[in-house]
A and B are shown apart, each in its own frame.
With several copies, the nearest count.
Chain A
Amino acid sequence: MQRMVNNPDYAVEDMLKGFVKVHSDILVGTENPRVLKYKDAPVKGKVGIVTGGGSGHKPAFAGYIGRNMVDAVAVGEIFSSPTAKAFFDAFKEADSGAGIACLYGNYAGDNMNVKMAMKMAEMEDITVKTVVANDDVASAPKDQPEKRRGVAGEIFMWKVGGAKAALGGTLDEVIAVAQKAIDNTKSVGVGLAPCTIPSVGSPNFQIEPGTMEVGIGHHGEPGVKVMPLGTADEIAEIMTDIILPDQPFMSGDEVVVLVSGLGATPVMEQYIVYNRVEEILAEKGIKVHRSYVGNYFTSLEMMGVTLSILKLDEELKELVDMEVDTMGLKQFKY
């Protein structure tokens, strides 16, 4: 395992120390070492945006803390849900009295810990409402949305929810629009090589060289099929074939597209995949309003990409276009 850590069991602690040092212009640590918050949080009168999840997905989750996006984040072990206490403390750090929108991904551990944290919050009269991201089309059939995982599409949910909150939206308005964002987002992943949790020391799943796993999850959860490794164009076609019918996305739609590397796939190749994705969308009359390519939501040093497509309406477009200043996503508005 060619990796740079100290005691692998404390990789997350060590990472957080460096992270807070580098990004002190945006975020700060809190009393709970597993909770980071926007330096100006709680923002007076603003709905607090909270998320959280396992580590190993940088920039997710803490990298999306910042102006017009996320206010506080609960940080878990690598690939493991944060504690209920961490979610609860994140609620407290982000709460200015306007309530908390907890926007997180659909994983068993996160569901349980958020549920327990909400019980704790109730006792302190903090109003918390949730949106549970389930954009990963390959993780369950369309009629079982409660089984679908949240993947890179969560970024759209945070972007849109954070923008709405910054514009003064009420908790219900923020929740409604974040829910709309994730309902309108479909994602799929393709894995080319596995990743290794440093404290485990060897990959906990395998992808045979010469093959790829279509529908892979952010922790290496197996996909829907293992296929011979395709060209970038073929991979783009396979992914769009899975995503487009699921919404369905149709001629005349305007969308935001996110191709995120899973960690070790060169950014160069992500652009090659994106190029074909946009061609396919153009062929179908779907217009790309905005796109993102890069390592936006990773899985340590896994190889592969996720593709996420968000269908816009006027409200979502305005919120997606809003200026944002986080470590993982910076966007100027001229």
Chain B
Amino acid sequence: MESFKNQDGKRIVENLIKVIQENRDYLSKIDGEIGDGDHGINMNKGFSICQERIEGKDMNLTEAFKTLAMVLMTEIGGSMGPLYGTMFIEMAKQSKGKEEIDKEVFRQMLASAIKEIQEIGNAKVGDKTLMDTLIPALEAYEAAMDEGFATALEKMSAAAERGKDSTIDLVAKIGRASRLGERSRGVLDAGATSCWLMLKSMADSMVQMV
């Protein structure tokens, strides 16, 4: 059965950090269209602090996710602190004690993350948030699990991208942009975009490892 070692998973988080750093300005630009233009800055600051914390340390995936989550929750604030902090704390929790991360473990990680994000943020599909990336991603992943871990990851990544793109045509129902009504239509949602970048990065990293 396809899987990779929790012990080898730190690089997944390292790649995540890289992808956020590279997209700092892009994400802020998107956020600027209908939000307040700080999404890339917030994300980059948190992920860069995490980078310092994990650099040179011997850590498994669980510990790396936990470090990322703690930084986001205690040092970043904004909307992303609680939302992505919750996401990664759940990923840490669900992988904890698992030596091997297989497709079922990852399913639990993703599903639990989404459940808790929804708990705190109260957003649903169609609200023009990162939920529009997450929910179809999980559905695609679960539907493709029979085809193997790697395939499921790839389908998750593709569904995340479609989900992200779907936000263009949506009117924001939650968060800052929701006050715009119709004026929020026609542009990507920043959170949905960063979420897609992260799911894609995780999928790419894991596919290489399984």
Which residues of A approach B to under 8 Å, CB–CB?
Answer: 9, 54, 76-86, 107-109, 112-113, 115-116, 139-140, 147, 149, 197, 199-200, 204-205, 217, 219-222
Whether A77 and B78, one on each chain, are in contact in the complex, defined by CB atoms closer than 8 angstroms, is: yes
Whether A204 and B37, one on each chain, are in contact in the complex, defined by CB atoms closer than 8 angstroms, is: yes
Chain B residues near A219 (CB-CB < 8 A): 36, 176
Query: In the complex where A109-B79, A199-B41 touch, is A83 in contact with B74 (Cβ < 8 A)?
Result: yes
Chain A residues near B36 (CB-CB < 8 A): 79-80, 197, 204, 219-221
Query: In the complex where A81-B79, A139-B179, A147-B178 touch, is A112 in contact with B121 (Cβ < 8 A)?
Result: yes
Q: 19 new A-B pairs (CB below 8 Å) besides A197-B38, A197-B41? A: A76-B78, A77-B77, A79-B37, A79-B38, A80-B77, A81-B77, A81-B78, A83-B76, A85-B75, A109-B78, A109-B81, A113-B82, A116-B73, A116-B120, A200-B37, A205-B32, A219-B36, A219-B176, A221-B36
Give CA–CA (A155, B21) in the complex, Å: 37
**Bitwise interface map of B from 63 to 99 toward A, beta carbon under 8 Å scored 1, else 0:** 0000000000111111111110000000000000000
B7 CB to closest chain A CB (Å) equals 29
Query: In the complex where A9-B41, A147-B179, A221-B179 touch, is A85 in contact with B73 (Cβ < 8 A)?
Result: yes
Whether A140 and B179, one on each chain, are in contact in the complex, defined by CB atoms closer than 8 angstroms, is: yes
Whether B77 and A113, one on each chain, are in contact in the complex, defined by CB atoms closer than 8 angstroms, is: yes
A308 CB to closest chain B CB (Å) equals 18
| B31 touches which of A108, A113, A204, A217 (Cβ 8 Å) | A204
Kindly state whether residue B175 has any CB partner on chain A within 8 Å.
Answer: yes
Whether A222 and B179, one on each chain, are in contact in the complex, defined by CB atoms closer than 8 angstroms, is: yes
Query: In the complex where A139-B179, A147-B178 touch, is A80 in contact with B82 (Cβ < 8 A)?
Result: no
Chain B residues near A109 (CB-CB < 8 A): 77-82
Whether A84 and B73, one on each chain, are in contact in the complex, defined by CB atoms closer than 8 angstroms, is: yes
Give CA–CA (A76, B37) in the complex, Å: 15
Chain A residues near B82 (CB-CB < 8 A): 84, 109, 112-113, 115-116
Chain A residues near B32 (CB-CB < 8 A): 200, 204-205
Closest to A82 in B: B77
Interface size on B, residues (CB 8 A): 31
Chain A residues near B120 (CB-CB < 8 A): 112, 115-116
Closest to B175 in A: A108
Chain B residues near A116 (CB-CB < 8 A): 73, 82, 120
A56 CB to closest chain B CB (Å) equals 10
Give CA–CA (A83, B42) in the complex, Å: 12
For this complex, 29 residue pairs linking A to B, each with C-beta atoms less than 8 Å apart, are A9-B44, A76-B78, A77-B45, A77-B76, A77-B77, A79-B37, A80-B77, A81-B77, A85-B75, A86-B77, A108-B121, A109-B78, A109-B79, A109-B81, A112-B82, A112-B121, A115-B82, A116-B73, A147-B178, A200-B28, A200-B32, A200-B38, A204-B31, A204-B36, A205-B37, A217-B179, A220-B36, A222-B179, A222-B183
Which of A78, A113, A116 has its CB near the most chain B CB atoms (within 10 A)? A113
Chain B residues near A197 (CB-CB < 8 A): 36-38, 41
Chain B residues near A83 (CB-CB < 8 A): 73-77, 81
Whether B174 and A108, one on each chain, are in contact in the complex, defined by CB atoms closer than 8 angstroms, is: yes
Give CA–CA (A54, B81) in the complex, Å: 13
Give CA–CA (A9, B46) in the complex, Å: 11
Kindly state whether residue B180 has any CB partner on chain A within 8 Å.
Answer: yes
Which of A9, A76, A81, A109 has its CB near the most chain B CB atoms (within 10 A)? A109
Chain A residues near B75 (CB-CB < 8 A): 83, 85
Chain A residues near B121 (CB-CB < 8 A): 108, 112
| A84 touches which of B28, B81, B175 (Cβ 8 Å) | B81
Whether A80 and B78, one on each chain, are in contact in the complex, defined by CB atoms closer than 8 angstroms, is: yes
Give CA–CA (A77, B79) in the complex, Å: 11
